Amino acid sequence: MKYVKRFEVAPGTKVLLKNIDPAFKDQHKSGAAATEEIERDRDKLRSLQQRFYADGRRSLLICLQGLDASGKDGTIHHILGAMNPQGCRVTGFKQPSAEESSHDFLWRVHRATPPKGSVAIFNRSHYEDVLIVRVHDLVPTDVWSRRYEQINAFEKELADSHTDILKFFLHISKKEQLRRFEKRLDDPAKRWKISEADYTERESWPRYVAAYEEVLSRCSTPDAPWYVIPSDHKWFRNLAIARVVVEHLEALDLKFPKPTVNLEHIRREYHAAKNS
């Protein structure tokens, strides 16, 4: 089965994360055994992005969501980093600024959507406005509860304007999250990421799970599907996401445009200059 279907949340499906194994790794025994496949998919991503840019008829939006330490930064670095940065932009959505808060919750998101031929990657996204605001009661229930349909309408508008949308939930276990937090303590290159919130937020784990389950159940649509990616094994997370993006781009039947100049004339000019 293609990965694009294996991890997709079918529209109308009720998602229960406890029924999805975050340590799933398919037939692969180890990261070392999957290295060749991962590199092959990275090469395909480079080639497909070049064709996607040249084709110029569509844009691609990739949303990454997950609990702390699920690997959003790592995914961008190891897999999506294979793309040419000239045609790819990453936006991280943190706490809204004063200006952003003075607009509707989708204002800052719409500004970061990709133009034709380009790829935009959201590190967190508009879904924070039905996740953290719900878990911590930052806005009234009657406000955030209306946002699911508003988000679906927003994404349909993008899709109708030829923006392809792929949304990935990086699914890790509570035990694996704690292991990654502890590993950061011993890594000088990662200690700066540590905050008190890393540990205090773990107390809200059940509420986050419930919030994500509703997002996945209500906002996976034919226009903008969600994919639940088992992420306890970083290498498998990388493999699965790369494969989904590759399969999606391959299905678009991307084409290089025809030359806009007379090639025979250019060749004659070249040979004349070369022989002069």
CA distances from 139 to 14, 127, 145, 197, 215 (A): 25, 14, 10, 20, 17
CATH classification of the domain holding 141: 3.40.50.300
Q: Does the pLDDT of residue 1 top 70, yes or no?
A: no
Question: What is the distance between the alpha carbons of residues 177 and 184, in angstroms, rounded to a whole number?
Answer: 11
pLDDT digits (tens, 9 = 90+) for 222-274: 999 999 999 999 999 999 999 999 999 999 989 998 888 887 878 888 788 78
Strands, E assignment, 49-191? 59-66, 88-92, 119-123, 163-171
**What are 233-244's pLDDT values in tens digits?**
999 999 999 999
DSSP letters for 39-77? HHHHHHHHHHHHHHHHH-S-EEEEEEEESTTSSHHHHHH
Question: Could you give the angle at which helices 147-160 and 205-218 cross, rounded to 10 degrees?
Answer: 50
Encode pLDDT of 117-165 as tens digits: 999 999 999 999 999 999 999 999 999 999 999 999 999 999 999 999 9
CA dihedral sign, ordered 105, 111, 116, 117: negative
Domain count, the chain: 1
Neighbours of 239 (CB within 10 A): 23
Cα–Cα nearest to 61, from 149, 147, 168: 168
Burial of 51 (0-12, 13-18, 19+ CB in 10 A): middle
Domain span at residue 205 reads 3-275
